[in-house]
Amino acid sequence: MFERLVPKLRVNTVFDIDLEDLYRQGYRGIITDLDNTLVGAKAPLATPELLLWFAKVKELGFKLIIVSNNNMQRVSRFATPLNIEFVHQARKPSNAPFLKAMKQMELTPQQTIVVGDQMLTDVYGGNRLGLYTVLVLPISVQDEGMGTRINRRIERIALTRLRKQGLWHEEENPK
Ligand SMILES: [Mg+2]
């Protein structure tokens, strides 16, 4: 269980992901979380820097879909103006939203990357299906709801265990 909380890659932000390298390795699709991964949990719209990142993702040949546990209104307001497909109220870490997203992208688990800021939802869900999981640092934990705050507490407990088991090395930690 605890090993499944360990991401394949840890970075500070989505901008630190080496997209070219992942494309060379055969990855073709990105399932990304929204809140605190792309923008802060209370930020309704994409930043200019993020718009450039979306353009780069597309230009390299990746498909991208947002999979969020947040509601229709929140996710649609962000994604619809950008013509980005999304799955809302996803109930990550359950398998269903990940499978749905891959089906929509017409990609296999071997071709798919998951990006998110939470070990219990994004990483655990992605690892269970054998996807390439990327953990980013949360953009801002100040605006997080109760459920996420509980998850963060469990994350800290899990991290202590993983460190003891030698499955989490500080030197890999982002700056
Ligand atoms: Mg999140």
Distance 60 CA to ligand 1 centre (A): 25
What pLDDT is attached to residue 47? 96
Residue 98 Cα distances to 62, 90, 128, angstroms:
16, 8, 10
| Nearest CA among 138, 172, 133, 132 for reference residue 155 | 138
Beta-sheet pairing, 112-116 with 29-32: parallel
What pLDDT is attached to residue 140? 86
Provide mean pLDDT across the span 105-112.
Answer: 98
Distance 118 CA to ligand 1 centre (A): 6
Give 141's pLDDT tier (boundaries 50, 70, 90).
confident
Cβ atoms 25, 110 nearer than 8 A: no
What pLDDT is attached to residue 169? 85
Cis peptide before 93 (omega within 30 of 0): yes
Distance 24 CA to ligand 1 centre (A): 27
What pLDDT is attached to residue 174? 53
What pLDDT is attached to residue 173? 55
Q: Does 56 score more than 50 pLDDT?
A: yes
What pLDDT is attached to residue 2? 84
| Nearest CA among 65, 57, 63, 119 for reference residue 90 | 65
Digit-coded pLDDT (tens) for 5-51 = 999 999 999 999 999 999 999 999 999 999 999 999 989 999 999 99
Mean pLDDT of the chain: 95
What pLDDT is attached to residue 175? 47
pTM of the full structure: 0.94
Distance 33 CA to ligand 1 centre (A): 6
Distance 94 CA to ligand 1 centre (A): 15
